[in-house]
Structure 1
């Protein structure tokens, strides 16, 4: 069964408010880029493309839950400066793609959707997935995928749920406004990191106009021989309260045979951390070339 992620009974213009924020944010982005919509198995998908289209290997950035390309501009800026980056908004998450959420077997369906996005690129790709996006990257099986970088990854094990973070999330859900959004983002960022005002705006809109989604657990049947023979790079923020390296590492070693690369960030990587991710992608692309 599918339902809209948007709270249209509360506000009939809920979807438009999310779209307007994304459109304004992308229009103001200084990096040259192209946007289009494509029909996919999961519904209409907004795809943003930036960087050098002549490079042989593309990078596909898959956003996490409650996120989209417009909310990931620091990541896109870092990746576009080094090559060709493609960022599809995940259907069923707030953004410019389909607003219909499919709850049953969701990660499996996102894997099929991501395979379709990758196939249309018609070139080798490195997948970079954050949180829910990492779970989708694990579920993808296209032979065009030559590498995966999983950042604060969903799909390996369920996240920790510290009481203070849960309380901040509950206050945000009950009364989504800039103050509660800011406090929740403080729990998702590193202690000394400045909270991005744009993300405060975004999270306030999401809290007001979007229904809660789901958090992926371990996708045991997705850990195929292909993943084990070419293990993903797994990265986690040392200040991540949900999926810190010590929490993710046992599952990464047991299921994928790989260690966790620590990042100096929280659950939401800052621009410097995305720069380190982009450097890791460079190494994977160079190995392929």
Structure 2
């Protein structure tokens, strides 16, 4: 039977909720909190930007939440209505349930959440890491729900690096055991490019996740999508990946994007960056994503 919670303890859940409240209190732009029902339980989202602007949905990576995506939400909200969703089964404010990765479950969940947010037609999507995988899952199962795609280091385009998983697993276990500032720096450092300073809020959230969230062992088994899975998809797609990503070989991931996505408009490495784009990279990355999302529609759209 599935566990009733993703947290080891109630105190761990409270620590994550306190992080969320603190981050919202210091958010760089005004945000509104939304809660919608889904087949897998309540799902929380943050909304920012003009209510009448074209919508874009933002999906975070594993062990993060919508509030951790402030570096993208803020610049995108200048011209877009941004809806950043707390993924179920991650340390946010949504249901503490983890559907099976195989099958249509995540696509069904995401489609239902889009309905609940009033987004019934094709919608533009921005996803980081596991959030990119969820976007691709929706695109494979429900291509009619997908507008333009922007994927940052997205899972599902190439195999995970085995060595990277070992490095991160060891660092995470050490921090879970001792919980010091030094162990946190050691755990977060591999996620960023060499010499690049981590985002302090993301680092603090990851530290809480490493200590308090029950790991999901099925994530290590995520396979690349099969050739042909996106043959019905003609949505324009932009894919980027840090050159020094600990989890993915950038050349392999970008090559996978070129092979799998018929509507790919660009596949670009992020020089010197790791799995998580550094704070200094975020403004330029947001501008690049915005240029893709705001590009003139193709004749087939």
Equivalent position of 1:27 in the other structure: 25
Change (3 A) 1:221 1:262: closer
Give distance in 1, aligned partners of 2:103 and 2:87. Answer: 11
Query: Alignment length, in residue pairs?
Result: 283
1:256 is the counterpart of 2:249: no
Is the Cα–Cα contact under 8 Å of residues 56 and 124 in structure 2 kept in the other structure? yes
CA shift for structure 1 position 106: 5.5
Q: SS where residue 7 of structure 2 aligns?
A: coil
User: Partner of 2:291 in structure 1?
Assistant: 282
> Map of 1:1-289 to 2, 5 A cutoff?
1-3=1-3, 4-8=5-9, 12-55=10-53, 57-102=54-99, 104-105=100-101, 108-119=104-115, 120-122=118-120, 124-140=122-138, 141=142, 143-160=144-161, 161-162=163-164, 164-213=167-216, 214-215=219-220, 216-220=222-226, 223-227=229-233, 229-257=234-262, 258=264, 260-264=267-271, 265-279=273-287, 280-288=289-297
Find the aligned partners of 1:221 and 1:174 in 2 and give their Cα distance.
41
SS of aligned partner of 2:89:
coil
Cα distance in 1 for partners of 2:261, 2:284 equals 22
Aligned equivalents of 1:231 and 1:121: distance in 2?
19
Change (3 A) 1:219 1:177: farther
TM-aligned CA distance change 1:274 to 1:145, over 3 Å: farther
1:185-210 CA distance string (max 9 Å, x none)? 11111112112222232122112210
| 8 Å CA contact 1:47, 1:88 repeated in 2 | yes
**TM-score, structure 1 length as denominator?**
0.88
Instruction: Tell whether the 8 Å contact from 1:125 to 1:144 is kept in structure 2 after alignment.
Output: yes
With over 3 angstroms needed to count, the CA separation of the structure-2 counterparts of 1:2 and 1:221, relative to structure 1, is farther
Q: Deviations over 1:35-94 (max 9, x none)?
A: 021111221111100012212x21110011001012221121122123211001000111
Do the aligned partners of residues 122 and 224 (structure 1) sit closer, same or farther apart at CA in structure 2, a change above 3 Å counting?
same
Retained in 1: the 8 A contact 2:228–2:260?
A: no
Q: Matches of 1:92 and 1:66 in 2, distance apart?
A: 9
TM-score by length of 2: 0.85
249-258 or 234-243, which deviates more: 249-258
Compared with structure 1, are the counterparts of its residues 107 and 61 closer, same or farther at alpha carbon in structure 2 (3 Å cutoff)? Answer: farther
SS in 1 for 2:58: strand
CA contact (8 A) 1:178 1:201 kept: no
Distance 2:103 2:134 in 1: 6
Change (3 A) 1:19 1:185: same
